[in-house]
Chains A and B, each alone.
Chain A
Amino acid sequence: MTPDAALSDRELMVSRLIEGPRDVVFEAFTEVEHLSSWWGPEGFTTTTRAFDFAEGGVWEFTMHGPDGTDYPNWIQWTEIRPPEVIVLRHGEGPDDPEQFSSTFLFEERNDGTRVILRSEFKTKALRDRAVEEYGAIEGGNQTLGSLATYVTETEDRPR
């Protein structure tokens, strides 16, 4: 998280520098062929049932975890401003009461494009749950990769 961001207690934020020009990075969010190539953690795949990249349009897909678990996903774009902003609603389906809103910002940098994701949940409790449970338990190899991260984090954090 960037230190200067004022986040409410219902929000989460992640950002990362992507090594490519902004139009190319933005494009990776606009077509299902692109999205299915990178969306989700390592080892996950997606099957798309419906896709219409437009404001009010919907992306319905299933994410398949490396352990064989399927996760229903439903996304509706609420704002699309190429190549700067994408806002969407995300949940398991159109009637999911726990839908949350995600804003992707694309900032041009000398060395690439900074993608900033801010997600806003309906309650702090839902936000807190997303911190720990968002996504899924992953397969063994993936788990191994994050062991070092886990160890560093737990050692840094006073208990």
Chain B
Amino acid sequence: MARARTTADAFNAIAEPHRREILTLLKGGERVVSDIADVMGMNQPAVSKHLRVLREVGLVYVHPEGKQRRYGLDARALEPVHGWTGGFEEYWGESLERLNTYVKKRQREEE
């Protein structure tokens, strides 16, 4: 898979541990910078820098709310990453997970 310049590339964006931590945090819902900084024990400028990189690759969006800006996660930008990590094991891991759910459901229905 061809890679775009570093700052515009989801692979690069998630290569940095703090940025992954931010994404994991935003999975739970939108947050403001100060909030993210508090949770991560970082200063706001450092968090803002990471958020800028994540915004450039489309992983994070900004939603202005009064004076504050709330940041949220847009996982669609992870598609290239997923395409790269997906594959046989992922495909069958998920299929068999669904099979397990289906078998359990059928047993409940028969009871």
- Chain A residues packing against B (C-beta within 8 Å): 12, 14, 16-20, 24-25, 28, 34, 37-42, 67, 115, 117, 119, 130-144, 146-151, 153
Q: From residue B24, how far is it (CB to closest CB) to chain A in Å?
A: 7
Contact of A147 among B78, B101, B107 (CB under 8 A): B78
A sample of 13 cross-chain residue pairs with beta-carbon separation below 8 angstroms, ordered by A number, consists of: A12-B88, A17-B100, A18-B103, A20-B100, A37-B98, A41-B94, A132-B84, A133-B86, A136-B83, A146-B82, A147-B14, A147-B20, A150-B85
- Chain B residues packing against A (C-beta within 8 Å): 14, 20, 23-24, 27, 73-76, 78-104, 106-107
Report yes or no: B75 in contact with A28, Cβ–Cβ below 8 A.
no
Q: Is the interface of B mostly helix, strand, loop or mixed?
A: helix
Q: From residue A78, how far is it (CB to closest CB) to chain B in Å?
A: 19
Report yes or no: A140 in contact with B78, Cβ–Cβ below 8 A.
yes
A115: chain B residues at CB < 8 Å are 96, 99
How many inter-chain residue pairs (CB < 8 Å) link A and B? 131
A147/B90 contact (C-beta < 8 A), A18-B96, A38-B102, A40-B95 known: no
Q: From residue A28, how far is it (CB to closest CB) to chain B in Å?
A: 6
Contact of A134 among B75, B78, B86, B97 (CB under 8 A): B86
Q: From residue A118, how far is it (CB to closest CB) to chain B in Å?
A: 11
Report yes or no: B87 in contact with A132, Cβ–Cβ below 8 A.
yes
Report yes or no: A143 in contact with B81, Cβ–Cβ below 8 A.
yes
CB nearest neighbor in B for A137 = B83
Give the residue among B23, B100, B101 with the most A Cβ atoms within 10 A: B100
Report yes or no: B89 in contact with A14, Cβ–Cβ below 8 A.
yes
Report yes or no: B90 in contact with A20, Cβ–Cβ below 8 A.
no
Measured CA separation A131–B88 after assembly (Å) = 5
Contact of B101 among A14, A34, A38, A151 (CB under 8 A): A38
B107: chain A residues at CB < 8 Å are 20, 24
Q: From residue B89, how far is it (CB to closest CB) to chain A in Å?
A: 6
A143: chain B residues at CB < 8 Å are 75-76, 78-79, 81-82
A137: chain B residues at CB < 8 Å are 79-80, 82-83, 86
CB nearest neighbor in B for A130 = B88
Give the residue among B79, B97, B102 with the most A Cβ atoms within 10 A: B102
Q: From residue B82, how far is it (CB to closest CB) to chain A in Å?
A: 4
Contact of B98 among A42, A136, A142 (CB under 8 A): A42
Report yes or no: B82 in contact with A135, Cβ–Cβ below 8 A.
no
